[in-house]
Structures are given as structure tokens and as C-alpha cells.
């Protein structure tokens, strides 16, 4: 569907006599396609505009554009049953390159991976029966995918796939980690990957006892160890900390010099670092998805954040994602909400030291550090779920806590659960500030025990923010969420405490989420699994500079304001390191 959009800052309808109204054919037939809005300016109805383009030609101020909204195309790639989800287009693997696929959940990215890896034969939209390869190849004749699909149809391609859902691994393999990895060591590189991803201590551990992060590293090692012509990696970052994500990215880049790789990923910083090109997936989740032709990685990610695909002339999101530097400089004059005392917590094999600090009213503090270094322990200390060895909290504040690991054992509905957390559920404020942005309306009558990981995450965030509290602590709120959902939760969280006598602590491994949402930063340092020290909160520049230096990477901003990881060893990387500026030294021209 094509619609007309009025840019209000350029519209001068009072001066021109609203020619866009006078010349619109639907107005002449009595339809109110264009109406007079605020300050007497012309406003075009998106529901009625047919995109004829006459108003664009008649407007003397260039205030009107005709753009397209997502709609289904003519040549489907695959359809799931009658009236089921339909996918249009596929990404094309390229020799010696990493091809990225970026889009919302339920938009067809994993379906594309299944087709390209030979797990699913495309039916071209004929849901009753699969199509012969001749018809499939005819549809893709003359495209960059023709040769690949022809070779795939002849079964002459070997592929290696890292699946999206790693929790299924224990269901299909019952041995220990070493036994599993030995079966995949076809390239003779297993020991290198085991060492890089710190899997040595786990080789004799049964698969059924592993955590999510351990399963993710094992699945990645198994995939990269195989001998294949093409590699497909469906989400490598869930459950991994930023250190492990960087290590995984470096291993993938090394392999990409030898073999083509297709990666589906929601962590934009890692995707930016890894990919050479990006295919954007858009549409309507669970209804239809469209995968664009490849774009440069910088252009593709920026267009995705803008919500507007220039080459396709399609706007698929109302809100642009912006990275505001001024959000990092707020609040030195705010009142102190909570004084964090100096305290320690010691377990049999791990010890945490908190150096103290203060939390101010109305701010969002990001918390960064490796896995196993005490971030969740710190959160539980503040929430009163565990007692410190020394330095107990001297102040009593109400705290609402969302834990890292979620489990829904109740059959209560989502609505019943949320109503038990707040008495404002029926208000318009709750509807617009919690339910709508977190897309919870379709889930309200669903039992908690039936929710997916992403759905349960959004409900848990809503429950945490629903409780009356002075301090809200959210441990890894971006887990299981796609980019669209991550953007929404950052907006919800910031709005929830803006200008109020409350604050938020956000623990997360997605640097983009931390950068968008945080005003100050708590940094955890030490040896994972052995000792950790919490320092700060710092101003964002100081805290991120400290964190990134320890991580060994440098960041810059491009002209859109988006943070980007410098390629290791590049001119900007070497220049920023030499000046000790690891965080946003300069912007791209």
C-alpha cells in the first residue's frame, strides 16, 4: 500500500490555499483523504490515500512524499499451509563473505536458513504440494541465487548449521561434551575452538547439565568444526557475555576468509562487526516476511534503525531509533535515591566486592561485565534475596526485581498475573505505557506456562515495572528479544522513571541496549568464576572507556549517531587506542 506523508515542518498550506486538498481526486469525489489538522495545515489520511501522486506535484514546498507500507509481493518463496505465513525472497551466500540477515522475530529469517541449508524445499506459495526443482529454478533464473539453488537441488553442497534453539541439543545427544565435539571435528580445528571459547573444563561434563551459555558455545564450536561448503549461523549471541561474543565473532571472521557464511543476529554491534553485507527482513510477523537484496552493512543497519528502506521506498516502522549523546549527560543535580554501601559476598569458589556508590532519582544505570563476575549476585544483594557478608544495606527502599533466568510454572493467564502486580491495569496510562509498547494485548488470555522465551521476557519486564517501587532492577531484559522489541523496551524503561522519584538498574550484554538506555554505568571487573569487583557508577564516557579498554575494542559513532565497533587493526582503531579514547572518539565522514 502506498500512502502520502506530509512533512509538517515544510507544509505552508495557509499560504498556498491547501492545493493538495483542492487537487486530490478523492476529495473531489467527497472522500476526506486530506483534512485540515493543527494550525490549519493539511494532513493526509493514511487510510484513504491511494498514492496517486497528484498532491506531490501540486505542493510548491516539497512537503509531501509518497511512500510504501509493507505489503505482500507477487512471487512467494514459501508458504506454510493455507492462509499461513509466507516468505518472499532469500539472502544469497557470497564466497569469502559474511552475509547478515536482520529483522524481527516471526518474519521468516529461520525459514530462509532452512531453505538455503536444504532442510526445507521451497513451494513457491503452493501450500498443498511442494514444487519440482525445475519450477523453483525457473523462478530464480538470472538471479545470484540460481547457481546456488541448482547445486543444492543436485545435492552437491555440504552445509553446517548452528540452530537457533540450542536447548534442543540435550534431547538429541545424551553423552558428554567431548564425545559430541569429537563427532564434529572434521576440519581438525576443534582444539583451537575449545581453547578460544573456554570449553576445556567442560569436556567431561554431561550435555544434560549445561547452562544456556555453555550450550551456545558448544553448538558454535560443533558447527565451525565441520567440513562444509557453506555455514549458516542462526543467532550466536544469546546467553553469551560481550567477551564471549567478541571471541565468537573473531572465530567466524577467520572462517569467512575460507568459506561463505550466512548469519542471523539481533545484536547489532556484533552483526556490524561480522557482516560484509546485510539483508533486511521486514513485513508483518507471523503473516508474511520479505527479505531485501543485500545492502552494505552500515547502510543496511542504519536503514533498519530508521524504519525506512530507501531503495525499496518502504516504511516499516513508525519510530526511528536514535542514539542521543545528551541522554548520557543528565542528572548531576538529581537527588540521591539510594546510597550503595561498600559490601562483600563470598561463596565457596567466588567472591564479590562492591566499592559503593549512589543511585539518583529518575536515572537509568547500565551494568556491564563478563558472565560469572557477580552482576546477578549484586542485583540479588540489592533486592534483599541474599545477605552480604559485610556492609548491609542501611537504607530501606522498595525494590522490584526481574531475575536473569525466567520460569513460568503457573497456569494463570498473563492478565491475571499482571493484575496481581498492580492496581492500575485498567487505566489508559498502563495500556499506552506498558501493554501496547510491549505488545502484550494478544497474550493477555494466554497461560504463563505456554509462553515462548521472548513472550515470557516481555511479560516479566511488564510485571517488574508494574510493581510500586523506588528501584527497578532488570537482569538481561534483552534476552530472547529481537531488535524491534529491544528498541521498545528501552523506550518503555526510560519513560517509566523519567522525572520520577525512582531509578532503574539494567544488566545486559547488548552494548546497543546499554548505550541507548543508560545515563551512567556500573562496571564489573575481575576473573569470571573466581572474583569480581563492582566500581562506579561512572559517567557514560568514563565507564564505557574503562569497560571497552578491558574488552580490547574501540567504538566510534557514524553520522547517524549509531555506535560502531572499529575493525581491529584499522586506522581508527589504532588511532583511538593511541589516544586512550575507546568510546566515541569521532564520527564517520
pLDDT at 549 > cutoff 70: yes
Percent of residues, the chain, with pLDDT higher than 70: 83
CATH number where 425 lies: 3.40.50.300
Query: What nine digits make up the cell of 117?
Result: 541449508
- Kindly report, residue by residue over 352-384, the tens digit of the pLDDT: 888 888 889 889 999 998 888 888 888 888 888
What pLDDT band is residue 237 in, cutting at 50, 70 and 90? confident
pLDDT at 27: 45
Domain count, the chain: 3
CA distance 2 to 341: 58
Q: Which residues of 295-307 are buried (b: 16+ CB within 10 A; e: fewer)?
A: bebbebbbbbbbb
Together in a domain, 153 and 41? no
pLDDT at 420 > cutoff 70: yes
Helix (H) / strand (E) element for 537: namely strand 531-539
Together in a domain, 283 and 372? no
What pLDDT band is residue 327 in, cutting at 50, 70 and 90? very low
pLDDT at 321 > cutoff 70: yes
- Mean pLDDT value across residues 273-281: 91
What pLDDT band is residue 29 in, cutting at 50, 70 and 90? very low
Together in a domain, 451 and 523? yes
Together in a domain, 377 and 257? no
Residue 298 inside a domain? The answer is yes
DSSP three-state, residue 446:
coil
Domain range for 361 is: 325-551
Residue 578 inside a domain? The answer is no
pLDDT at 462 > cutoff 70: yes
CATH number where 30 lies: 3.30.70.20
- Kindly report, residue by residue over 81-111, the tens digit of the pLDDT: 776 788 999 998 888 889 999 988 888 898 9
Residue 570 inside a domain? The answer is no
Residue 558 inside a domain? The answer is no
Contact 206, 178 (CB under 8 A): no
Low-confidence winner among 40-54, 88-102, 404-418, 536-550 (lowest mean pLDDT) = 40-54
Residue 139 inside a domain? The answer is yes
Residue 198 inside a domain? The answer is no
What pLDDT band is residue 174 in, cutting at 50, 70 and 90? confident
DSSP three-state, residue 279:
strand
pLDDT at 561 > cutoff 60: yes
User: For residue 507, which of 470, 527, 467, 537 has the smallest C-alpha distance?
Assistant: 537
pLDDT at 447 > cutoff 50: yes
Query: What nine digits make up the cell of 82?
Result: 493455507
Together in a domain, 241 and 297? yes
Together in a domain, 54 and 84? no
- Residue where a domain stops, chosen among 296, 315, 334: 315
- Kindly report, residue by residue over 331-354, the tens digit of the pLDDT: 556 788 888 888 888 888 888 888
Together in a domain, 13 and 53? yes
Amino acid at each position: 500500500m502506498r500512502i502520502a506523508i506530509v512533512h509538517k515542518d515544510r507544509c505552508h498550506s495557509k499560504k498556498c490555499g491547501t492545493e493538495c486538498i483542492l487537487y486530490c481526486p478523492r476529495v473531489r469525489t467527497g472522500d476526506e483523504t486530506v483534512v485540515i489538522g493543527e494550525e490549519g495545515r493539511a494532513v493526509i489520511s493514511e487510510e484513504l490515500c491511494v498514492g496517486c501522486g497528484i498532491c506531490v506535484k501540486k505542493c510548491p514546498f516539497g512537503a509531501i512524499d509518497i511512500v510504501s507500507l509493507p505489503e505482500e509481493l507477487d512471487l512467494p518463496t514459501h508458504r506454510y499451509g493455507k492462509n499461513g505465513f509466507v516468505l518472499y525472497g532469500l539472502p544469497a551466500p557470497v564466497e569469502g563473505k559474511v552475509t547478515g540477515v536482520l529483522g524481527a522475530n516471526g518474519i521468516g529469517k529461520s525459514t530462509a536458513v532452512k531453505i538455503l541449508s536444504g532442510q526445507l524445499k521451497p513451494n513457491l506459495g503452493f501450500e498443498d504440494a511442494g514444487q519440482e526443482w525445475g519450477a523453483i529454478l525457473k523462478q530464480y533464473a538470472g538471479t545470484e541465487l540460481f547457481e546456488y539453488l541448482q547445486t543444492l537441488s543436485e545435492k552437491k553442497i555440504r552445509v553446517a548449521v548452528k540452530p537457533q534453539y540450542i536447548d534442543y541439543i540435550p534431547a538429541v545427544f545424551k553423552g558428554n561434551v567431548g564425545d559430541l565435539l569429537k563427532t564434529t571435528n572434521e576440519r581438525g580445528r576443534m582444539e583451537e575452538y575449545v581453547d578460544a571459547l573456554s570449553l576445556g573444563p567442560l569436556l567431561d561434563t554431561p550435555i544434560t547439565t549445561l547452562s544456556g551459555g555453555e550450550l551456545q558455545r558448544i553448538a558454535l564450536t560443533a558447527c565451525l568444526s565441520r567440513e562444509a561448503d557453506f555455514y549458516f549461523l542462526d543467532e550466536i549471541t544469546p546467553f553469551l557475555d560481550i567477551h564471549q561474543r567478541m571471541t565468537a565473532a573473531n572465530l567466524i571472521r577467520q572462517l569467512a576468509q575460507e568459506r561463505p557464511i550466512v548469519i542471523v543476529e539481533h545484536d547489532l554491534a556484533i552483526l556490524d562487526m561480522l557482516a560484509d553485507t546485510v539483508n533486511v527482513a521486514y513485513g508483518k510477523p507471523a503473516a508474511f516476511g520479505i527479505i531485501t537484496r543485500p545492502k552494505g552493512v552500515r547502510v543496511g543497519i542504519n536503514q533498519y534503525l530508521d524504519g525506512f528502506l530507501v531503495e525499496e521506498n518502504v516504511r516499516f516502522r513508525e519510530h526511528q531509533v536514535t542514539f542521543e549523546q545528551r541522554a548520557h549527560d543528565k542528572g548531576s543535580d538529581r537527588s540521591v535515591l539510594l546510597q550503595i554501601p561498600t559490601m562483600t559476598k563470598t561463596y565457596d569458589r567466588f567472591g564479590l566486592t562492591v566499592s559503593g556508590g549512589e543511585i539518583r532519582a529518575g536515572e537509568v544505570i547500565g551494568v556491564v561485565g563478563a558472565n560469572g563476575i557477580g552482576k546477578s549476585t549484586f542485583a540479588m544483594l540489592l533486592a534483599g534475596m541474599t545477605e552480604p557478608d559485610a556492609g548491609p544495606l542501611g537504607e530501606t527502599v522498595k525494590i522490584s526485581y526481574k531475575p536473569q533466568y525466567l520460569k513460568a510454572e503457573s497456569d494463570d493467564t498473563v492478565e491475571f498475573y499482571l493484575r496481581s502486580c498492580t492496581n492500575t491495569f485498567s487505566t489508559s496510562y498502563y495500556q499506552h505505557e506498558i501493554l501496547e509498547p510491549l505488545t502484550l494485548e494478544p497474550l493477555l488470555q494466554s497461560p504463563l506456562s505456554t509462553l515462548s522465551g521472548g513472550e515470557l521476557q516481555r511479560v516479566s519486564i511488564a510485571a517488574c515495572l508494574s510493581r510500586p517501587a523506588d528501584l527497578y532492577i532488570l537482569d538481561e531484559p534483552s534476552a530472547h528479544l529481537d531488535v524491534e522489541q529491544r528498541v521498545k523496551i528501552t523506550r518503555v524503561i526510560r519513560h517509566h522513571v523519567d522525572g520520577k522519584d525512582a531509578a532503574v538498574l539494567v544488566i545486559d550484554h547488548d552494548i546497543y541496549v546499554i548505550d541507548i538506555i543508560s545515563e551512567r554505568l556500573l562496571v564489573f571487573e575481575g576473573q569470571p568464576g573466581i572474583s569480581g569487583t563492582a566500581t562506579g557508577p561512572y559517567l557514560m564516557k568514563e565507564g564505557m572507556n574503562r569497560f571497552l579498554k578491558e574488552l580490547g575494542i574501540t567504538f566510534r559513532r557514524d553520522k547517524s549517531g549509531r555506535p560502531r565497533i572499529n575493525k581491529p587493526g584499522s586506522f581508527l582503531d589504532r588511532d583511538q587506542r593511541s589516544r586512550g579514547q575507546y568510546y566515541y572518539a569521532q564520527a564517520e565522514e
